[in-house]
Structure formats: C-alpha cells, structure tokens
A and B are shown apart, each in its own frame.
Chain A
Amino acid sequence: MKKLTTHAAQSVTRPAPGAPPLVFIVDDDASVRRSLGNLLESGDYAVETFGSASEFLERAAYPGPSCLVLDVRLPGLDGLGLQRHLAERGRGEQIVFITGHGDIPMGIQAMKRGAVDFLPKPFGDDQLLDAVERALARSAEAVRARAELEAIRTRLATLTPREFEVFRLVIAGLLNKQIGAELGAALRTIKIHRSRLLRKLGVVSVAELTRLAQKAGVEPAPPLGR
C-alpha cells in the first residue's frame, strides 16, 4: 500500500488523455529549429521550440500526449543526456532524435532507451512527420494507460486494510472458506468484505479483479504458511 502512494506522488502531473497533442522541438541551431516548427505546423501540429535542454526542462511537464524532436548535439546537456534525465524522472515524452551526424552507435543507444526514431539530417518531411505521428500515438497510449492506472489506484486507495488483504487472497485463488481460515474470520464476514471490495473497485467477477490487480501491480498474497 505504501509503495503505491509513493509511486503516485512521483508523477508530477496527472495524465490528461483528453488534452490536445503537443510537439516540442529542442535544437540549438535557430534556423533548423524554426524550419522544424514550420514543417510540423504544416502537418497541423501544435509546436513549442527550445534552444537547449535546460530551456526545455524549465517548462512544466505537459500532461497530454506529447513528442520531443531532439537534436543529439546540444551545448550543455546533450540529447542523450536529456533522454536519460527524463526517463529517470518517469516522464512520458516520446522522443524522435535528429542528428547531423549519422552516428550509428549513438542511434542504437538512443533506440534501446526507447526513442521512437533516429533521423539523420537532412531527412524527408514524411519521415519526420511519420515519426512524430507514431511518437504521439505511443504517447497517447501511454497517457491513457497512465490515466487508467491512476483511476485504479484511486479506487484501491478506498479499500480498508482488511479488504485489501481479502483482495490479495482472492486473486491468489483462495476460496472464501480458505480465506476465512487464513484470516481467522467467519465465512460470513469474509463474504461481506468480498462484496464490498468488488463494489468499491467497480468489478463483478474474479477474472476482472485479477486483470485489475495485474494493471495496478498488486501481487497475490504469499503462499500459505501452513
């Protein structure tokens, strides 16, 4: 239970699946930066541009689906550094790298760390717009998943400790009678707990309950000591 609350606190902004998608551009070359902005605008994307990694980090994290078009070489914190920095803080921006240097090891490293694409300059407009589209789709999915998770966690937070214990024993596959024995409680009491927690979590079947537990990362209770 404790673990869950800390997780929730770390995500700075609440995911907003309904917010419009937004593209961030970080490149230190002003004319390249502006041209990227123009290209993305022609693809009907909302765009914000930044000259360096630190400038970008000053901006508050965007809750909606977002994509970062990022130059590898930057003064100060470079592109790969920024990618690591964002990952460490659990931020969900999907990254499309652009580089003037077709540096393959660097590209591999970036892709391994979850970049959507790694485009050598100059690239075709379709290549970039396609990559941005994929990134936004991924981001939207991630935002949606995170929003769902948030919802589940909110509901989980309404359970009493006793109900939570029952929950973990139910998804471990124990019958009510076995749960009662485990907890030293009457069968009737267990039944009440069980129906309450189903109601609180908004599910009707044990199968649904198991899926929810998986999504929320709630583990089944440890095997019986006896």
Chain B
Amino acid sequence: MSWVTIIWSMAASASLTLAAMHLLVWCRKRAAWVNLLFALTAIATAGVAACELWMMHSETPREFGTALRWLHVPGWLVVVSLVGFVWVYLRSGRLWLAWAACVLRTLSLILDFLFTPNLNYREITTVRHIRYLGESVSVGEGVLNPWMLISQAGLALLVVFTVDATITAWRRGSRRPALWLGGAIVFFTLASTVQIVLVIWEVARTPLTPSLFFLGIVAVMGYELSRDVLRAAQLSADLRESEERMTLAAEAAGFGVWMWSIPGNHIWGSERWLRLFGFVPGAAVTFEEVIQRIHPDDRELVEREVRYAVEQRVVYAGEFRVILPDGTQRWIAARGRMGPDTLGNPARMLGAAIDITDRKQSELRIEAQRNELAHLSRATLLGELGGSLAHELNQPLTAMVNNAAAGRRFIAKGHTDPQKLDALLEAVVVDGRRAGDILRGIRDMIRKDEDVRKPLDLNAALAEILRLVRPDALGRHCTLVREFDSGLGAVNANRVQLQQVFLNLIMNAMEAMDLKPAETRRIIVRTERPAEGEVRVSVRDFGDGLPPGEPEKVFAPFFSMKRSGMGLGLTIARSIVEAHGGRITAANAEGGGACFSFSLPTLPEDGATVPDSPRSGGGPAA
C-alpha cells in the first residue's frame, strides 16, 4: 500500500464518515439544512479525492482525461454546497453572487461533458510518470482548453461571495464563525486554484490535489458545527438546571409543577403536585388518571377546557375540586400552557397547580353570607312593592273572573255560540298563564336561590322587573322610559340577583322623585354596549340628585337618603354586581337627577367555551 493510496483513501473515508454523521442529524431534524449542506460538501470532497486517485493511477491519456472529466462533478457539488452552507450558516451574502457562482460552475460542468476529453484539455498527448510521495504517479500533458477559465472564474466567484458574506457577518457581530469559516473557504479555495493553475500550466510538477484543500475546508466546517453541538449541549444542561431551580422555587412557594407529554400521554409531576392529587411520589400518571381524581361535577368542564387550551394554544386556567383516594375534597387552582414541537404539533403542556381549599372555603362562606343578605333585602324590596304586585296579579284574575262570568251569562240566556264561548275560554287560559308567570317571578324573588349563573338575556330580565313595578310607577305618576339596545349579547349571571339590583335602583329612583311635580317624574332605563365584551345598564331619575362631594358614598353600608331605609340596599347591590365581575357607579346626571349604572362582562360570542363552573364564577385564577 502506497502513501498516496493511504492518504487519499483516508481523506475520502474521513469525509464520508463526517458526511454520514451529519446526514443522520438532518434525517432526524429536517430543518437542520446546515448539516445537510455540510454532508454534501464532505461527500463531494470524498468524490474529488476518488477522482484524483483515479487520475494518479491512470495509464493512458484517455483514462487520465476521463478521470479529470469526472472530477468536475464532485467539484461542482463542492462549490454549490459551499455556497449554500455560507448562505445558511452565516445568514449573509448576496443572492446574485451566490447564483452567479453556481451558474458559472454549472456551465463549466456542462462544457466539461461537451468537450473531449474534458474542460481542461483540448487534447492530452501523453501521460508522464513522476515521483510523488515516494511513488510513481501519472500526470497529464497536452493542449490546454481556454474554456477551463470558466471553472476558475466559478471558484473566484465563490471566493468573492464568501468574502462578501464574511464581511457582512463580521459586521453583524458573529465574528468567530465568520472568521473561521470565511477564512478557511477563501484560503483553501485560493490555494486550490493556485495549485490547479500551476499544475495545468506545468509550472509545478505535482498531480492535481484540490481534495486536500477541500478537506481543510471540511475540517474547519466540521469543527465549527461540533462547537455548535457542544454549545447546544451546554445550553440544554443550563436549561435543565434552571428548570430544576424553577421547580424548587415553585415547590417552595407551594405550587406543584407538572408537565404532560401529550404524544406519550405521560404526566411528570413534581412531588408536591403528585401529593396535591393524591398520587404517591415518583408515580407516572396519565391524563385520564388525573381527570379521574377530579370531582365528577367539575370533571367534564376541566377536560373540555384543557383540550381547548391545547387545540387553541391558549393558557388554561381553572379552579376545580379533587377527591383524594381517602375521600377528602380539596380545591385546586391550575394553570398551564401547551408547547408545540418543531412542526407545530402539540408536544407537551407545562403548568403549575396550587391548593386553594382555604381560600375557596372562605369565599364560599362569604358568598353564602352575601346570598343570605341579598335574600333578606330582596324580601324587603318585595314588601315595599307589595301593593304593586297585588295589582299586577289582580289584572289577570279580574279578566278571568269577568270572562268566566260572561260565559255563564251567555249560556244562561241560551246564547251558546261555540265560537264565542271558545274565545272566552281561551282568554281565561291566557290570563291564567299570565297570573302563573307573575307568581313564578315573585316566588323566584322570594325564594332563597341556589346560586346559579346561566347565560341570560339581560333585556328580558329587566323587562320582567319593569312589568312588576309598572302599577307602582303609575300610582306614583312616574313614567318609565325604556331605551334598550336590542343587540346586547348574553351575560353569565344569576337572574334573580341581577333583577334585585335593578329593582333596587328603580325603587330608589321612584322614591327620589316622590316630592317632585308629577309631570317631571320620569325614569330613563337604558341598556347599551359601551365597549366590546361589556354591557351597561343605567337608571336615571329626575329627582334632587346625590349629595355633592362623593357620590360613591351612597354604596357605603347604612347610608340612606330615605326616611325609612336601612341603607343596605345599594351596599348589597354593589356586592352582587362585583361578584359578577362588574362595576356599579353613581353620579349626578347632567340636567338634574341621579344616574346609577352597572356594567357586566358579556359572554364570548360563540358561547362554546362558556366557563360554567358550578360554584365559582369560573374566572381565571392564580
């Protein structure tokens, strides 16, 4: 085995090994174009080395010419892949230069196969044997082909393109890769070009060895890429460390941390998280197992919301109850976000959870107290409205009695026209229903409500109250002016409690005008959408208005402007509105009188992801 064979075989196999490694990287990670281009450069270098070996061992001018012709194929690939590599790796360079180098090289490859024997020679006369590395190798001699300058020009353009790209990258600040990679390509390409020129013009008496120069480029490229791999490894180690630190910090703050690998459906949880859900430390659990721990009433909602957060790539946030294996119940607030893989598919969901049982219990206690108070004040309100309610109920009853009596009289007189009697009976049925509706409304208001929030048509709920107070308003000679926005959108609310707030405002407004001249007694009730996702209800009277100074004082407990008032109505109204995530305000209106208004958040238009939590408002939690 000769040195030439050993060196060239080793160069080729080293290149191929590197190529294989990086090709594998690219196969696993298709976005890693740098690795693919590097692999192509390395493969081409191996090809160049093989062709050189073929040339050095050729016996006839014909064989030498063929070998040199084929050398241009890997040579072309070297230039093209290098251009690509610089473009992708340094993320700089002029596109037209890149194209020019590639096109020139491609042109020279085409010409190479059009000329005989190849691009470099018009005719190879003899093959001489010279001593090289202690061995006899073949060197061609003959008439040179001037067209070969095209291939040299291609190499020159590669150098120009690389220099330009290197300078840009250098200026941009990525100095190290620019210097090493750009420097190596420029240096070795120039060196190779010089050697080719010297050999072809028979100044130097050595065989053509561009592969050795390309090998230098490949070595530098490989070194740079492996540095990247090292850096990535270091980064991921750092990341792991910071993740561990974060987990520690979260655990110390009382949070449990979890990560759900979605494709494998495996949930890793920190020790605290596992304990929150009643799993043993170190347990590997699936999503379904976690869902099974959730209270049956909350289960479906949590699952739906998590799946929605995964699909829509939004943050999941929810509060739910968990039943531990020993039967105890615990409130948990959880939050999480989906992380996609490189192709954008759901890969994992990361999140944290915390025990909020104490907070929730006190919240529920406060809510129960608020409901109790609300119920009491509602009963009081209805008491004030008693006469009006009786009147409202009296109307359909009167109509029923009249119609029934009329029917009996017709029959007694022998006027038994079935159509006439049917119309009377139908009227009785309609009025009976109306009386029932009124009774139901009153019963709802009086009953202690279980706190249910449902999507609600606010206008309809307000209209019911306006109907109840109408007789009272008539008795007080007060006109109710209704200005409703018909496109209001639904709110998620407790109907009875919102009606109570509204009733309270209406009653206050009417009482505020009792001492005013009858013709000025007017209440304007308006609903509107002041902003996206918000509705506002305002009740404006034409009374004396609020005391100057702080109009908000009217919401304070035991503040009353009436002779017979506890001063709790508005306090309760405010607590109801705020429990619904809204705001209630009081101000003096322009042109006299007071204006009370409350605003509430609306439900999202589609309504598909309505948080309908059984007890809580379903708002996002920590």
Q: Which residues of A contact B (CB under 8 A)?
A: 29, 31-32, 34-36, 38-39, 41-43, 73-75, 78, 98, 100-101, 121-125, 128
Contacts and interface: CB of A to CB of B under 8 A. Distances in A.
Contacts of B406: 35, 38-39, 41-42, 125
Q: Which 8 residue pairs of A and B lie closest in terms of their CB atoms, listed nearest first?
A: A125-B405, A35-B402, A42-B409, A100-B391, A35-B399, A38-B406, A42-B406, A121-B398
Nearest to A33: B399
Interface of B: 387, 390-391, 394-403, 405-410, 413, 415, 424, 427, 430-431, 434, 471, 474-475, 477, 479
Contact of B427 (A34, A101, A125, A128): A34
B474 A39 contact: no
A122 B474 contact: no
A31 B431 contact: yes
A122 B428 CA distance: 14
B451 to A, nearest CB: 34
Contact of A122 (B387, B398, B477, B479): B398
Contacts of B395: 29, 31-32, 100, 121
A125 B400 CA distance: 11
Nearest to B474: A73
A74 B479 CA distance: 11
Given A34-B427, A43-B409, A73-B474, A101 B402 contact: no
A101 B475 contact: yes
A221 to B, nearest CB: 49
B474 A75 contact: yes
Question: Would you call the interface of chain B mostly helix, strand, loop, or mixed?
Answer: helix
Contacts of A101: 387, 390-391, 471, 475
| Among B394, B397, B407: residue with most chain A CB under 10 A | B394
A31 B423 CA distance: 12
Contact of A39 (B402, B413, B434): B402
Contacts of B471: 73, 100-101
6 contacts: A34-B399, A34-B427, A39-B403, A39-B409, A42-B410, A122-B397
B399 A32 contact: yes
B86 to A, nearest CB: 87
Nearest to B428: A35
Given A31-B434, A101-B391, A38 B424 contact: yes
A94 B387 CA distance: 28
Contact of A32 (B398, B474, B475, B477): B398
Contact of A35 (B400, B413, B474): B400
A34 B402 CA distance: 9
A43 B402 CA distance: 12
Given A41-B406, A100-B390, A125-B409, A35 B475 contact: no
Contacts of A39: 402-403, 405-406, 409
A31 B399 contact: yes
A81 to B, nearest CB: 10
B401 A122 contact: yes
A35 B398 contact: yes
Contacts of A42: 405-407, 409-410, 413, 415
Contacts of A29: 395, 399
Contacts, number: 87
B104 to A, nearest CB: 95
A41 B409 CA distance: 10
A36 B390 contact: no
Contacts of B431: 31, 35
B492 to A, nearest CB: 35
A4 to B, nearest CB: 38
Nearest to A75: B474
Nearest to A74: B474
Nearest to A128: B402
Contacts of A78: 474, 477
A38 B406 CA distance: 6
Given A29-B395, A101-B475, 7 more contacts: A32-B395, A32-B402, A38-B402, A42-B407, A73-B475, A121-B395, A124-B405
Nearest to B403: A35
A38 B474 contact: no
A111 to B, nearest CB: 20
Contacts of A98: 398
Nearest to B405: A125
Nearest to A76: B479
A39 B404 CA distance: 8
B394 A122 contact: yes
B398 A100 contact: yes
| Among A36, A98, A100, A122: residue with most chain B CB under 10 A | A100
Nearest to B411: A42
| Among B399, B401, B431: residue with most chain A CB under 10 A | B399
A167 to B, nearest CB: 50
A43 B413 CA distance: 9
Given A34-B427, A35-B427, A125 B402 contact: yes
Given A36-B402, A74-B474, A100 B394 contact: yes
Contacts of A34: 399, 427
Contacts of B427: 31, 34-35, 38
Nearest to A36: B402
Contacts of B408: 125
A121 B405 contact: no
A41 B402 CA distance: 11
Nearest to B394: A100
Contacts of A38: 402-403, 406-407, 424, 427
B431 to A, nearest CB: 5
Contacts of B398: 32, 35, 98, 100, 121-123
A36 B407 CA distance: 12
Nearest to B409: A42
Nearest to A125: B405
A42 B409 CA distance: 6
A66 to B, nearest CB: 20
Contacts of B401: 35, 122-125
A43 B408 CA distance: 11
B415 to A, nearest CB: 8
B317 to A, nearest CB: 51
A32 B405 CA distance: 13
Contacts of B413: 42
A101 B390 CA distance: 8
B405 A31 contact: no
A135 B394 CA distance: 24
A41 B410 CA distance: 9
A198 B454 CA distance: 88
Contacts of A125: 401-402, 405-406, 408-409
Contacts of B424: 38
B130 to A, nearest CB: 122
Contacts of A124: 401, 405
B477 to A, nearest CB: 8
A2 B395 CA distance: 50
Nearest to B401: A122
Contacts of B397: 121-122
Contacts of B479: 75
B493 to A, nearest CB: 31
A124 B402 CA distance: 8
A30 to B, nearest CB: 9
Contacts of A123: 398, 401
Contacts of B387: 101
